[in-house]
Amino acid sequence: MMPEVDLPAWAELVVAALVLAGAALALLGSVGLLRLPTFFERVHAPALIATGGCWCVTLGTVIFFSLQRGEVAVFPLLIAVFIAITVPISTVFLMRAGLFRARQQGQAVPPSVSHSVSPGGQDS
């Protein structure tokens, strides 16, 4: 086990600023989730903010553990990379499910841009 090293004041300030910025972004996303009126508007706030907030907290974590241990800490970056990959994918699937449900209920949403062609050559 490596001995813990006290961080310089500038590093503590940078880490604190990054973690607070991440928390503020998470709060902003939560407020957006509560205040925006429709599902399609509400789904954007947490998706964008989760990624931004996660990156701020992750950078703060990387700086903290890198300076404390004396070597570059890359393990927190894995969390941010997985979130950066999975959040947009899950958001797309939620939006598609929301569009499908809205179309089934007859709500005014944009028409589907995909279409299938029947074997006879006519659009269905």
- What does the alpha-carbon distance between residue 18 and residue 8 come to, in Å, rounded to a whole number? 16
- What does the alpha-carbon distance between residue 88 and residue 118 come to, in Å, rounded to a whole number? 32
Q: What is the mean pLDDT of the chain?
A: 85
- What does the alpha-carbon distance between residue 18 and residue 51 come to, in Å, rounded to a whole number? 14
> What pLDDT digit, counting tens, does each position of 43-61 carry?
887 787 888 899 999 999 9
pTM for this entry = 0.74
b/e 30-58 (16+ beta carbons within 10 angstroms → b): eebeeeeeeeeebbebbbbbbbbbbbbbb
> What pLDDT digit, counting tens, does each position of 64-88 carry?
999 988 888 888 899 889 988 998 8
The amino acid sitting at 118 is S
Question: What's residue 71's pLDDT?
Answer: 87
Show me where the domains of the chain are located. 9-104
